[in-house]
Each structure stands twice: as structure tokens, then as C-alpha cells.
Structure 1
């Protein structure tokens, strides 16, 4: 089972955002999409999950997938607690309750801060909270835009372990980053000016 992009191009305001992209994303695989700012990484993530529609080409889904997503900066209610924010998001799909949310907060070392207002969180804590909301509903596809920003080494290793766990569970994981880190990716896709310049 996979998500396939066939000859996908996207034009926004006469600018070529994605140019003739051909890629396959398979279940049980973790992909890194790397490139400089403006290379098209974020737009590719938006295309995969259907936030964007192609100008040309098509995106083919083998089944109806559910998604866990961080794209750009997640908008939390800063004057509310971490738990309030997670419950607010969980109430949209009504898939999980308080117990499951707390389980994921614990995995990301945030359970002891669940009743603290998000405005008191460090950048790294906010990033881990964003990761928590992306993982907590057990999605089929996990799309993460620059997920490692501001996360210290100890918590980074926790994130790596959780990514491995999700990959082993058969998830499709696509990570967009301007750097290549120490994670063992199944495939590394390099983008430049909306084009795929290399896949390895």
C-alpha cells in the first residue's frame, strides 16, 4: 500500500512550486525530504495529505489514509494548558480520550507539565507537544515539517525511537528538513526549486 505522485506540478501566482514530481511513499518506510528553504519541501507535504491539489498530474492513494501532521508552526492556544490543547484537537475526530492523550504526553516527557499553560513552555517543549498531537491518534501517515527544531539530545533520541516504533507498525512517515540528521531513513529525497534533484 502506498501514496504515489505522478507527474505532479503546482503553480501558485504564476510561480512553479512543484515541478513534475514523481514519487512513491510506501507503508513501513521513513522518508527524509531535504532541501533549502523554498525548495518545495513543505508544499510536497501539503500535496501528500491533500491540503493542496495539483495543477497538473495526480496523487494516487491505495486506500483512505488518516494523517498526523506538523506543517509549519502549530497554532496552540497559548493561554490554555497542554492538556486543554490536546483534548481540543482530540475532540475534532473523537478517536481518543484523556487516557490516550496522557499516554502520549508521557512518551514525550510532557505529562508532568500537562496542566501548565503552553505560553510557559520552551521552544523544545512546544515542539514536543506538536509531535504529540501528530502521533496521538494513531494515524496511518505521519508528515513532519522540521520536527527536530529546538529539541535537546535526550528528547531527540526519544523521538527517534518513536519514529522507529511507528515505522515498524507499518506507518508511512515523511519528514521535511533542511538538514540530514542521524536517523536511519529508508530513503532520502533531495529537492531544489520545486524539483526532485536526487533520491537515494
Structure 2
């Protein structure tokens, strides 16, 4: 009985899901093709043939699993943020905190991973929030002097670190953001 080729979409998604699970579980330093091959029931040689480095395999898995990131305009900054965070995946299909911690760990060790993470992952998430911040400043909801980068980092970090919690999005918006910006 032969294995399904890695170039079929379903098989690739199976491998990519395994990659993200392994990264979240063991981190970047201990991530290796042997673990992925074993758990995905694939040969290590076939993985290396398609993805010559673990960086490429991890990045392809991340790109294939980025959620659809629409740009909502709900009329208020708080509601824009609520819709943005929901689009990131509630319920979350993967261990987001583990994946991001693995990426951060790996980015300290591997410059290629850091560049690819910034280009494909960080930009996708920060651009969406930056548009919402810029719109909120124009509407007068946020002060012009607000450091958007720090606010965006705080929103992303809180979401990532609490992503396993039920109702995390509403908690961030109603328990943190609305009181912070005075939007009750």
C-alpha cells in the first residue's frame, strides 16, 4: 500500500498541521524533520526533497494556515479590533502561543527564520491592526501621539498568550481595550 504523494493539497495540509503541532510542542531548536516525518507518516527524504530546510517547511506551513485577514470597518476602533481578533481564529485551530514562542525562539537563532517571519507572519497581523489604528486616529478615538506599535504589540501579545482561553477576544476588547481608550 503506497503513501499519498506530498503534492496533493490534503496531504500537504496534513503535513503542515503536523509541522505546526511539532513546532508548538518542542520549539524551534528541537524541531526536526525526523519528528515531522514520523508523525505525518512521511519519509524524511520526501520532506527534504520538497523543503530543503526546516525554515522553509515551517514558513510554508505558516503561510498555508494564515487565517483570512479581512479589514473590517465596524465604526469604532474597539469593534474593529474585536472583528480582527476573531478573524485570527476563535476557536483557535493550533496552539498559537506555542507556535509564536517557537518562532520567537527560532528567530533569535536563525536570521532566515526571523526575516521570513517578519515578512509573512508579522506583517500580515500588524498591517491589519495598523489600518484600524490609523482609522481610529482620524475619527478622533485615539490620540495622535499614541504609539501605535506598542498598542499593536500589546494586542497581539495578549491574544497570543491567552489564545487558549474561552472568550479571549471579548476579554481583550471589553476588559482591556475599552477601559484603556475610554470607550465604554
Greater strand proportion: 1
Between the two structures, name the one with larger relative contact order (CA 8 Å, sep ≥ 6). 1
Fold conserved (TM > 0.5)?
Answer: no
Greater helix proportion: 2
